[in-house]
A and B are shown apart, each in its own frame.
Chain A
Amino acid sequence: MQPLRFATAGSVDDGKSTLIGRLLFDARALQEDQLAAVERASLRRGAGELDLSLVTDGLEAEREQGITIDVAYRYFATAARKFIIADSPGHEQYTRNMATGASNADALVLLLDATRPIAVQSRRHLVIARLLGIRHVVAFVNKLDLAGYARGAFERVRTELETFAAPLRFESLDVIPGSALRGDMVVERGDRLDWYRGPALLERLESLPSSADRAAGGPLRFPVQLVSPPRAGAARAVLGRIESGHLLAGAQLVALPSGRRTRVRQILSHGVEREIALAGDSVSVVLADDVDVSRGDLLADPARAPQVARSLDVTLIWLDAEPLRPDARYVVQQASRRAAAKVARVESRLDVDTLRQVPLSGPVLANDIVQARLSLQAPFFADRYDEVRATGALILIDEASNHTVAAALVR
């Protein structure tokens, strides 16, 4: 089974650290020396028992300033599956960090507090997750121990969540009651929530589909990373990772930008010949004809070719502290392709609280999500982000600072 990558999100006091600590502790993913460090830290802070929120305690630089800097990645495995957690901080820099954590995630685990209305922050996290193409959400309604494990408290939060999330149309939205502090419905079911019949959190995570499975069903997209020169006994080969669909020996391909048609003569996976390769596989491909291809080109299914465009309508997520400069040249990167570009037009800004597009007032700042048009110095081969992630996702790089300043999703 493919590993499941999930991002965690939630408002600052909803108990996210405790939940991750509990998940790792109950899944037996913590080692004795890690636990001993948590025990020491718990004592230092005067906690009477093991404070599981300290498991994810951050860097010195973060403790000094009382902030969370960045996404931390954590790893654990059960007998059924391996998991990668992108633990994203929930502070003001939410969009930037959320976007980094969510861009590779198959699912979002959203922490909600059973004793309070849903925080604005949590709504934003849901919107960003949806925007970045996360299709599965598992909401954990935490702190039910403080609400006497009452079904009413859970149902209130669930109704509020389902009402807000309905227009976002997630493929699945599970809502699970529990207590990270007491360990109810995280890994173990506990014995205080007998009115709930659904899965516990870990059980649900074990069964969620990974997006790699989905990508394999899309149209073939094979961006060229490198071309190896022919050498004694080996033909010229195109090296890259299949980002969408599948590749069959003998299949017809179109090479872009040249538009030349050719066939797959041979698929090699690390020296071993294969009949088929799927999205996610890094391979070497020998083509039947001597087609001119190089890094930045794309091999695609001729029957379902991408659009070839010098201008792209995108949703732009601004990440950099320096605002967007409307007339500046940026470098746009998509898969292995790069070209100079300008942001030709900014149409509107998304109000993440109301989900409405509103007119822009002033410059585009960090964490803004805007509708924009990119004007490109060379043609790009693009799909809508919702259809093919790898050819619908772009980043903008500032030519002077080399910072990654924005993420863009093709509409």
Chain B
Amino acid sequence: MRAERTHLDWLESEAVYILREVAGQCQNPVLFFSGGKDSICLLRLAEKAFRPGRFPFPLLHIDTGHNFPEVIAFRDRRAAELGERLLVRHVEDSIRRGSVRVSGNQSRNAAQSVTLLEAIAELGFDAAIGGARRDEEKARAKERVFSFRDEFGQWDPRNQRPELWSLYNARVRPGEHVRVFPISNWTELDVWQYIARERLEVPSIYFAHRRPVVRRHGLLVPVTGLTPPRAGEAVEEVSVRFRTVGDISCTCPVESSAASLEEILEETKGATLTERGATRMDDQTSEASMERRKKEGYF
């Protein structure tokens, strides 16, 4: 017999099983790839599930237009290395069409949902695979692995399909779809351990770097063209890294000197704040922000 399997082997095997179920049950699936650490893991899992074949789905990124350039460059390079098709849909286009209205430089994070649902309708996807994890947030803690969305893209937490064993039910009518979360059972630490084990490349902003920031409500807000300092705020240059990578206008880095995966792992083990608590401005507006966004079709 061989060496005992680790918990990462177990999580990997479960995720590969889920991806293959999508391929077996769905006609026209898609995988959300943002260039962030969770979707980087999804791509490796898809390689394990389907290589030497091609992925049975294209990759899709909903581009808010407010991105960290390193992440977009990484996204394009990774898709090219894999030889898989990357589709990009832009919140900017939804604004032009009038389906999204924004004022000034406000966060486009919530507006993503509109563009995302437009993309799903345009391309007729019946399943959309995402890298959300149940440990991220309490609304996600209740989500199924195969999570039904009605024709308006809405999630109804009161009326989820029972999901027993690993018997997933991906049946939908035209216009409806399922969201599928292969790494539901992973924690932030599992993700970093997997990235380290598989030696996966991640965008440079996950590692410590010096960056101008202002301190606002206990968060370090990056100073960029889109997020200038407010009157009276002092700009400092601090050694930081990002724990999560999202829309530039709502994602904050944490103070860090972790320059390697090993150091990130140590820091994650010793973290005293949750991933979202330390980094996301949009989740803090109310206790139920994520829940409300999710019901409206948010990823």
Contact = CB atoms under 8 A, between A and B. Distances in A.
Interface of A: 1-3, 31-34, 37, 57-61, 69-75, 77, 82, 84, 96, 99-100, 103-104, 212, 225-226, 228-229, 231, 233-234, 239-241, 270-271, 274-276, 278, 280-282, 295, 319, 331, 333-336, 389-390, 393-395, 397, 402-404, 407
Given A37-B287, A336-B24, A31 B272 contact: yes
A159 B273 CA distance: 44
A282 B13 contact: yes
Interface in B244-289: 271-274, 277-278, 287-288
Given A61-B157, A74-B134, 19 more contacts: A2-B7, A59-B138, A59-B139, A60-B288, A69-B158, A70-B142, A74-B141, A99-B162, A225-B20, A225-B21, A228-B50, A229-B53, A280-B5, A295-B24, A335-B167, A393-B164, A395-B167, A397-B169, A404-B162
A75 B185 contact: yes
B21 A280 contact: no
B278 A33 contact: yes
B158 A404 contact: no
List the 9 shortest-distance A-B pairs measured between CB atoms, nearest first: A33-B277, A60-B288, A103-B164, A282-B16, A270-B48, A402-B171, A225-B20, A282-B13, A72-B141
Contacts, number: 157
Contacts of A3: 7, 10
29 contacts: A1-B4, A1-B7, A2-B10, A32-B272, A32-B273, A33-B273, A34-B274, A34-B277, A58-B142, A59-B138, A59-B288, A60-B287, A73-B134, A82-B7, A100-B163, A231-B52, A231-B53, A233-B52, A241-B17, A270-B51, A276-B1, A276-B2, A282-B12, A282-B13, A282-B16, A333-B167, A333-B169, A402-B171, A407-B164
A34 B21 CA distance: 35
Nearest to A336: B24
Given A276-B2, A282-B16, A404-B161, A73 B10 contact: no
Contacts of A233: 52
B99 interface: no
B292 interface: yes
Contacts of A275: 2
Contacts of A394: 167
Nearest to A133: B165
B62 interface: no
